Amino acid sequence: MQEKASAMKKRWFVAGFALALLAAGAAAVRFSAPVQAALASRMIDRHMGENRDRLMTDDALRVVICGSGSPLPDPNAAESCVAVIAGGRIILSDVGSGSMRNLVSWPLPIGRVGDVLLTHFHSDHIADLPIANMQSWVDGRSAPLRVWGGPGVEAVVDGYNLAFAQDSSYRSGHHGEVLMPMRLAAMEARLVARADGAPLSGLEQAVIVDDGALKITAFAVEHPPVSPAYGYRIDYRGRSVTISGDTHATASVAEAAAGSDVLIHEAIDAPMVAELAEAAQRHGRDRLAKVLDDIQTYHATPADAREAGVAAGVRLVILTHLVPPIPPALGDTLRLRGLATRDPELRVARDGMVIELPIGSSDVHVGAVRR
Ligand SMILES: [Zn+2]
Ligand SMILES: [Zn+2]
């Protein structure tokens, strides 16, 4: 009995001592300037020494989700963005608001961003375009940023170039023409269209890059009244990913994705959006109720996305452009309810998700940008 009491006493003593140490540590961080400075130095050193080439190695096609959200504000997700890493290049498909903040905070050499594939010109897909241009320029991009898109891409690129011309001249003037040459400051528009200049439509596709190893194919999707509206398929050394862009259910996605390893497909949870619309109406928020009603017609549901993945024979479907925003702990389950999540595997995107497709293999690995 006495032994038990003394063991108990010892445990209390150890716990008390650990608590006192923790409190002393917290007080040192809160009140001691030298401790704060030492911690900051350590963080700076770790940040600067981070290996930014870990995801760049040429043994896989990699996909990084840089924005899984939509225009509805979501503290957990930036707006639309998918980064595809192949052959030492970073290709961005859309750059919605917040996506560049994600990308520059992750260990990635942003100067290797050479191409942006715009699916369409809704704000949640193009808002960070000038930031992608500026950040990749600062990080040493070696050619002007190529911005691919349907008819109208010239206006988007020209408009942003004009709006940011002064910013570029300040930066080049400040850091010098050698470090930040003005010839690399402005973006170049690359039109993706039919031979007659009209947007791709129906099941039309256009190969826009093909260097033997890397092939990028644009295809039409349906996001009415938005036109042009495209998706993109990227093939690299036998591995492949297809990105749907914004679309309601349409056969062109499965057609373009046939034989791809991964399909990244937009998905709106229609019942939840309908419930939101009803609640908005109930509370007198008529404008919001109308918007929430309208958006249901030009997006696909998780079931539509899954169906496209089954028809295309892909191994993995990733749901993205997540509407409405719900914290992942609850949202992932809700979005997948009632759906088979095998054959193909069905997962919900998250900012920072990395999908790795090793070359010479049929493996599909899903991880995170920070391990
Ligand atoms: Zn969108
Ligand atoms: Zn859209």
- The letter for the amino acid at 191 is L
CA of 34 to the centre of ligand 2 (A): 50
- β partners of residue 82: 65, 93
Please state, as a whole number, how many other Cβ atoms lie within 10 Å of the Cβ of residue 92: 28
Ranges 17-26, 268-277, 349-358: which has the least confidence: 17-26
Predicted confidence band of residue 201 (pLDDT cuts 50, 70, 90): very high
Average pLDDT (255-269) is: 97
Per residue in 81-124, pLDDT (tens digit) is: 999 999 999 999 999 999 999 999 999 999 999 999 999 999 99
CA of 255 to the centre of ligand 2 (A): 21
HSE at residue 226, side-chain half, CA atoms within 13 A, is 21
CA of 243 to the centre of ligand 1 (A): 13
* Whether residue 303 has pLDDT greater than 70: yes
CA of 345 to the centre of ligand 2 (A): 25
Per residue in 333-354, pLDDT (tens digit) is: 999 999 999 999 999 999 999 9
Distance CA 252, CA 7 (A): 71
Q: Near ion ligand 2, which residues have CB within 5 Å?
A: 122, 246
Note the pLDDT of residue 313. 97
Note the pLDDT of residue 50. 92
For 112-125, b where at least 16 C-beta lie within 10 A, e where not — what string? bbbbbbbbbbbebb
Distance CA 136, CA 142 (A): 9
For residue 109, what are the contacts with CB-CB under 8 A and spacing of at least 6? 52, 53, 56, 90, 139
For the packed helices 33-48 and 2-31, what is the interaxial angle rounded to 10 degrees?
80
Note the pLDDT of residue 371. 62
- β partners of residue 113: 90
Ranges 182-186, 281-285, 328-332: which has the least confidence: 328-332
Question: Domain boundaries in the chain?
Answer: 2-47, 53-368
Distance CA 185, CA 172 (A): 9
Per residue in 21-56, pLDDT (tens digit) is: 888 888 877 888 998 899 999 999 998 999 999 999
CA of 14 to the centre of ligand 1 (A): 55
Mean of per-residue pLDDT scores for the chain: 95
CA of 80 to the centre of ligand 1 (A): 7
CA of 173 to the centre of ligand 2 (A): 37
Write the DSSP assignment of 252-310 as a string of letters.
Answer: HHHHHHTT-SEEEEEEE-HHHHHHHHHHHHHTT-HHHHHHHHHHTTSS--HHHHHHHHH
Note the pLDDT of residue 16. 86
* Whether residue 260 has pLDDT greater than 90: yes
* Whether residue 264 has pLDDT greater than 70: yes
CB-based contact 68:350 (threshold 8 Å):
yes
Tokens at residue 121, please?
């010109």
Distances (CA, A) of 295 to 25, 78, 119, 120: 51, 19, 17, 16
CB-based contact 59:83 (threshold 8 Å):
no
Note the pLDDT of residue 1. 60
Assess if CATH 1.10.3720.10 describes domain 53-368: no
* Whether residue 2 has pLDDT greater than 80: no
Total-model pTM? 0.92
